[in-house]
Amino acid sequence: MRSRNLYALLVIAIVVMASMVVVLRGKIDQTTILNASNLNSLESSYYVRLNNTIWQDPLNDPSQWHVSSSQSNITSRLSSDGELHLNASIAPESYPQAVNLFRSVNFSIAQDPVLLISLEASVGIHYGIRIAGQDSSGNPFQAWSESSYLQHRSGLGHKENFTVNAAVEAYKVNGIFPAAGSSITSLQFYIEATAGQIGQFALDVYRIAVVSPNQYAFDSASQVLRSMDGIALTLNATNDLDYTDSNFAQGYIDYYVKGTQDLVYTVYFMHGLTVIGQGYDYSANSLTYNIATFSASNIRSYPPFLTGNNTFSIILSPSKGSFLSFQLGGFSVRYLSQAPLISTPTNIDPGIILAYYLTFLFVTPVAIVILVSRLFAHETNQAS
């Protein structure tokens, strides 16, 4: 009888709670969450193609290039025939050695220049690419840093393709984008040998082109079949709660996508020129449905093309390969009154709370278990 009452009570409780779910749905004031989702929140969608060539080095005039070595006992030779060939003979030394290949260039940052570079470095050697420029007053700035993925790379012995946005590289180093009127003025390659390394090494440059990204609008609800170097979705979310970027909690986007065999891409969530969320790396060489999630804790890079100021956008950007087809399923961008913290707090004095935590989690349960084991030792004896 008692257990029947218990079941009845359980059923009544579930029915009451379920009624509350139905009645209270959407009835609470919206104070602690903000959500931008569905296609009504989509302002525009466009894909990017890197097909507007501003400048291209024909790679047939070695006099444009300057070769220098860190040591006089390195012999190097530069030749060009529509491709640039740098060969270096490195004698063993107790310190690292390098050969630099440099040329002057001049293209305005206002064109959002993206460098497309194809090269091949010998196996065993390390190499890198460095870009520098100057502002309208002639003050120089670097667009590379030692920790960049473009530095101290291992030669693979096969062709590699790079897409490098000069303004983004400068931003990564300096924390600000180059001022209007700035230009890129130098391009440098180098190969470097570690201490004691010996042998003949080569760096072959097959292509250097500077392109400006072109944007093409498309209808995100239907499938677009094109070669695409990036996809951007601009949002028109209203922010009644005055939330800032630090309130961004997580976002989702689902879509059908297909790309080239080597396609590797990630998803960014941008506010103007700031990345406020990023997803994982994905590949899709056949038509695939994917649901990508992005959050602030996953930010690790910057997209290679820029979006407009003060707009919110979701960007799908390849680090390798390109997209061949895309169709948006949906998205949701969520802000919380307190989003997960990604910076380190300084005003924490955890002494008492830590003691409380460890006492409740470990000390008290273990002490009670020891007590119960002692008091009920006969249970153990019976069993054994």
Partner 1 sequence: MKLTKPASSVLLSGLAIRLGLAPLTGHPGDMALFVTSQRLFFQTGTVDLKYFPTLPAVYYIQLLFYAPYQLLRLSGMPDFQYYYHTTLMIEGVFLKLPSILCDVGIYLVLLSYTRKLIPATLFFLNPLPICLSSVWGTYDSMMLFPLLLGLYFFATHNNRTPSSLTFVLSGLLKLFGFVTYVLVICESIIHRRFRGELPLEILGGLGITVAILFPVLLFGGFQSFLQVIVYRFIGLSSGTGGTHYGLLGEVFNINPSGILPTIPVAVALTCIGFSYESSRAKGLPSLLLVKWTLVAALVFNLFSASEPQWLLWLVPMGILYGSLTGRIGLQYFAYLFGTFATFLTITLLQGTAYMLIGSSTAFILEYIESVPGSVFLYAVMTTTMILMFCGYSFSKKLKSFRLEVVPLTVLLYLQAYFWIVIIGVGRILGVS
**Which tokens go with 113?**
């220049």
Residue 9 in contact with partner 1, rule: CB under 8 A: no
Interface residue with partner 1, options 64, 223, 272, 330 (CB under 8 A): 330
Residue 380 in contact with partner 1, rule: CB under 8 A: yes
Handedness of CA 349, 352, 355, 356 (dihedral sign): negative
> Residues 194-233, buried b or exposed e (16+ Cβ, 10 A)?
eeebeeebbbbbebbebbbbeeeebebeeebeeebbbbbb
Give, as one character, the DSSP assignment of residue 217. Answer: E
Q: Which stretch binds partner 1 (CB under 8 A): 23-31, 111-119, 123-131, 320-328?
A: 23-31
| Site size for partner 1 (CB under 8 A) | 67
CA–CA separation, 205 vs 58, rounded Å? Answer: 11
Q: Among candidates 245, 178, 184, 205, which has minimal Cα distance to 119?
A: 205
Residue 384 in contact with partner 1, rule: CB under 8 A: yes
Handedness of CA 132, 52, 328, 244 (dihedral sign): positive
Residue 355 in contact with partner 1, rule: CB under 8 A: no
Q: Is the separation of the CB atoms in 182 and 198 below 8 Å?
A: no
CB of 65 to partner 1, least distance (A): 38
CB of 338 to partner 1, least distance (A): 6
**Which tokens go with 26?**
């959407």
Q: Among candidates 251, 111, 266, which has minimal Cα distance to 181?
A: 111
Site for partner 1 in 291-310 (CB under 8 A): 291-293, 297
Residue 354 in contact with partner 1, rule: CB under 8 A: yes
CB of 44 to partner 1, least distance (A): 23
CB of 10 to partner 1, least distance (A): 11
Q: Which stretch binds partner 1 (CB under 8 A): 14-22, 86-94, 101-109, 115-123?
A: 14-22
User: DSSP secondary structure string, 311-334?
Assistant: -EEEEEEEEES-EEEEEEEEEEEE
Residue 383 in contact with partner 1, rule: CB under 8 A: yes
Residue 332 in contact with partner 1, rule: CB under 8 A: yes
CA–CA separation, 298 vs 296, rounded Å? Answer: 5
Q: Which stretch binds partner 1 (CB under 8 A): 18-26, 175-183, 204-212, 218-226?
A: 18-26
Query: Around Cβ 356, how many Cβ atoms within 10 Å?
Result: 11
Query: Alpha carbon 347 to chain centroid distance?
Result: 30
Interface residue with partner 1, options 185, 206, 254, 272 (CB under 8 A): 254
Per-residue string for binding with partner 1, 37-76, x by CB under 8 A? x---------------------------------------
CB of 364 to partner 1, least distance (A): 6
Q: Are β-strands 224-228 and 126-134 bridged in parallel, bridged antiparallel, or unpaired?
A: unpaired
Interacting residues with partner 1 (CB under 8 A): 14, 17-18, 20-21, 24-33, 35, 37, 249-250, 252, 254, 279-282, 289-293, 297, 329-330, 332, 334, 336-345, 348, 350, 353-354, 356-357, 360-362, 364-366, 368-369, 372-373, 375-376, 379-380, 383-384
